[in-house]
Amino acid sequence: MSLVSIDAEDDAFAYRYDTQLLLDRRDKNLDESEIARYITENIEGNELLAIGDEETVKIHFHTNEPWKVLEYCAGVGEIYDIVVEDMIRQSNNLQG
């Protein structure tokens, strides 16, 4: 097995963990743009999607700190269907 380097400037996997979850917001006035703004301003990563309806927001984010996404989202609502996949392991044909 070869090691894959993590270099934020050159590596496609600079942000190793594909972090996905569903969030039921406690505050129905908290919209997806506010959630996205918080994540992008406070958690390093890329490929953010924050889409939803009046009740639920789907979050998809690549980061090296998935626990920060989970912590923030758990603070603003109920989180479920949580998936954190290691994209480097996946690219090496290992379970992610």
Query: What confidence tens digit (pLDDT) does each residue in 48-69 have?
Result: 999 999 899 999 999 999 999 9
In a domain, 51, yes or no: yes
Question: How many C-beta neighbours within 10 Å does residue 61 have?
Answer: 24
Containing structural domain, residue 31: 17-91
CATH assignment of the domain containing 31: 3.30.70.260
Q: What is the mean pLDDT of the chain?
A: 87
pTM over 0.95: no
In a domain, 5, yes or no: no
User: What's the structural domain count of the chain?
Assistant: 1
> What is the distance, to the nearest Å, from the Cα of residue 33 to the centroid of all Cα atoms in its chain?
15
Full DSSP string of 35-96: HHHHHHHHS-EEEEEEEE-SSEEEEEEEES-HHHHHHHHHHHEEEEEEEEEEHHHHHTTS--
In a domain, 1, yes or no: no
Query: What confidence tens digit (pLDDT) does each residue in 29-38 have?
Result: 899 999 999 9
In a domain, 12, yes or no: no
